[in-house]
Amino acid sequence: MTKNESQLARLCAWAVAVYFIPFGIGWGLLGRMIPPYPASMPAAELAQIYRDNASTLRIGFALAAFATTFFFMWSIGLFRIMIHTDRGGKILPYTVLVGGVLTGADLMFSIFFWLTAAFRPEQDPALIQLLYDLGWLWLDLAFGVAMLYMIAFGVIALKDSRERPLFPKWLAWLGIWLSMEFLLELIMPYFRSGPFSWAGLFNFWVPFFPPAIWMVTVSVYMYKAAGRLNEEYESDLAQGLEQTTTG
């Protein structure tokens, strides 16, 4: 990894913070999504909340939708580091790229449903409820794209045969496990309340917060890996070796 790419990759690692802070404020606090309103809430009650808080909801969702831009940036940085970690591998690093970018897109598009609900909150409560449902079903049931990048990342990190691996094996296994845990979302559409509904322990708190912490941890190692990959490149150059890992 050249000096220039290494610096850019470090910038992409930092993008995780630029993503999480406005997203947490916009989606979580202003958008009132931590915790979300239960699916069992009557339409009239939900519509009233959207009417009473329309302006904070709009700025919150707009900010959160913009924040997802940095998720894309993060995914591109992770992809380049994965290509070098995998010493020029193709399928797995590209799976990280596609899965990461689509995960960002999943987050971004789901926000537009809630933003649309807050845009004309005076309309029929059934429509507010419909948009609210659509946002949650979209966000939760598109988990497969996140599985793609988390598992591909895990396999690349486990395959890494460097004496000191760029990413710890436990982080790889944890990512694989977290991505498998998303499968619990498959039963989410059966419940409007309780621990398996979209506001419950197993389909909100568990699949959202541990993976977020995992992502931040991956970013810390991404930052370190960018430096080490540049050292590898420099020492290869010094030995006159041809670079094979430029992807």
Partner 1 sequence: MGRVPQLVNTTALANHQDPQDMSLSRDAGFWTFIAADASLFALLFFQFSLDRSSQPVVFDEGQRVLVVLLGTVNTLVLVSSSWLMASAVRNMRRDSVRTGLRLIAGTAALGVVFAAVKISEYVLALRSGHTVSTSPFFMYYFVITGIHLGHLMIGVIVVVVVGWRLRVGIRRPLDRTVLECGAVYWHLVDLLWMFIFPMLYLAR
DSSP, res 243: P
> Which of 163, 240, 242, 244 contacts partner 1 by CB under 8 A?
163
> Which of 43, 108, 141, 181 contacts partner 1 by CB under 8 A?
181
Q: Burial level of 50, CB count in 10 A (0-12/13-18/19+)?
A: buried
User: How far, in Å, CA of 125 to CA of 41, rounded?
Assistant: 12
CA dihedral of residues 210, 212, 216, 218 (deg, nearest 10): 70
208 φ/ψ angles, rounded to the nearest 5 degrees: -105, -45
**166, 225 Cβ separation under 8 angstroms:** yes
> Which of 24, 28, 38, 194 contacts partner 1 by CB under 8 A?
194
The DSSP annotation for 196-220 comes to TSTTSIIIIIHHHHHHHHHHHHHHH
Total number of residues that touch partner 1 (CB under 8 A): 26
Which amino acid is present at 208? F
Name the one range near partner 1 by CB under 8 A: 38-46, 113-121, 145-153, 187-195.
187-195
Name the one range near partner 1 by CB under 8 A: 38-46, 81-89, 109-117, 190-198.
190-198
User: How far, in Å, CA of 105 to CA of 26, rounded?
Assistant: 17
Instruction: Give least dist CB 106 to partner 1, A.
Output: 22
90 belongs to the binding site for partner 1 (CB under 8 A)? no
> Which of 97, 172, 218, 225 contacts partner 1 by CB under 8 A?
172
Nearer to partner 1, 18 or 158 (CB): 158
206 belongs to the binding site for partner 1 (CB under 8 A)? yes
Nearer to partner 1, 34 or 180 (CB): 180
Binding site for partner 1 (CB under 8 A): 158, 163-165, 168-174, 176-178, 181, 183-184, 187, 190-191, 194-196, 201-202, 206
